[in-house]
Amino acid sequence: MVGWPIGKPKERPTAPLRGYKLAHPVVSADGTGAAFAGVTLGRTKVYGAVADAECAQGGHHQSPSRWCDCGFYCLNTLDDARALACDPDYRNTVLLDIAASGRFRRYERGLRYARQRVSRVRVGRCGCGHPATVFVETGAGSIGWRRLMAVCADCAGSRPGLPLAAFSRLLGGVTVVHDEITRLYDPVRAFDSAVPPPADVPDPAAADQELVPLLAAEIALLQSRLDEVQRQLDRLTKG
């Protein structure tokens, strides 16, 4: 998160603010609970589905504070969170939809805030490119918590895996879903020549071609409508 906070200090939203963030999924050492670990600043902090921010520097002030960088962070848009997930530092993270409340500071592209409720966990692709379906241990973690990553069944192999639904139960019922990965977010698949598209799936390029005359007609219609509005405006202002 860069830049000095913008926004009005007196802003008092009536509903929680929505946002998106990336986090490492973790499971407790005894396997009875699930939570998340931060990626950069909050790397050592583990938080549950509902959590209050504490100062990561050990300060006793309210978090967030103008004079410290602690607090929860999120981005305003899903696109920005998905873009951040491409950074190698965020490899093997999951995407969280959150509702932020309490004290907050607004930034150009996101928020820093005091209280957080995770409303949905979005699981992306396995490192091999296929949709991830199960969580396995990464070997990393912190005291009391084992870090997980989501992989496909092939890559999980014989390793014990925690299905997405089981992770959801350990989180107390928070929805865990596959991220809606469109072609835009599946950049390699579009060029995958090894697997021809199934016959019953229309070729997206052909579908785009069919749209061209429709869109051209649409534009012509809008143009003539605009001309008409302009004529009326001219008549009213110059007449």
- CA angle in degrees (0–180, nearest 5) for 102-68-10: 40
- Tell me how many residues contact Zn ion (CB under 5 A): 10
Among 95, 96, 126, 162, binds Zn ion (CB under 5 A): 126
Binding range to Zn ion, per CB under 5 A, among 24-32, 41-49, 50-58, 103-111: 50-58
Among 22, 70, 149, 174, binds Zn ion (CB under 5 A): 70
Binding range to Zn ion, per CB under 5 A, among 118-126, 135-143, 180-188, 226-234: 118-126
Q: Which tokens hold the place of 98?
A: 């959150």
Contacts 24+ apart (CB under 8 A), 128-135: 128/152, 128/154, 128/155, 129/188, 129/189, 130/154, 130/155, 131/178, 131/181, 132/178, 133/163, 133/164, 134/161, 134/162, 134/163, 134/164, 135/25, 135/27, 135/161, 135/162, 135/163, 135/164, 135/167
Quote the least distance from Cβ 60 to Zn ion, whole Å: 9
Among 31, 59, 172, 204, binds Zn ion (CB under 5 A): 59
- Binding of residue 85 to Zn ion (CB under 5 A): no
Helices (H), the chain: 78-84, 153-156, 164-170, 204-238
- Binding of residue 68 to Zn ion (CB under 5 A): yes
Instruction: Choose between 68 and 166: whose C-beta lies nearer to Zn ion.
Output: 68
Residues 6+ apart with CB under 8 A from 137: 146, 147, 148, 159
* One character per residue 127-166, x = contact with Zn ion (rule: CB under 5 A): -x-x---------------------x--x-----------
Among 55, 78, 136, 166, binds Zn ion (CB under 5 A): 55
Instruction: Choose between 187 and 239: whose C-beta lies nearer to Zn ion.
Output: 187
- Binding of residue 174 to Zn ion (CB under 5 A): no
Of the candidates 102, 138, 101, 94, the residue with the CA atom closest to the CA atom of residue 120: 94
Summarize as ranges the residues that interact with Zn ion (CB under 5 A).
Answer: 55, 57, 59, 68, 70, 126, 128, 130, 152, 155
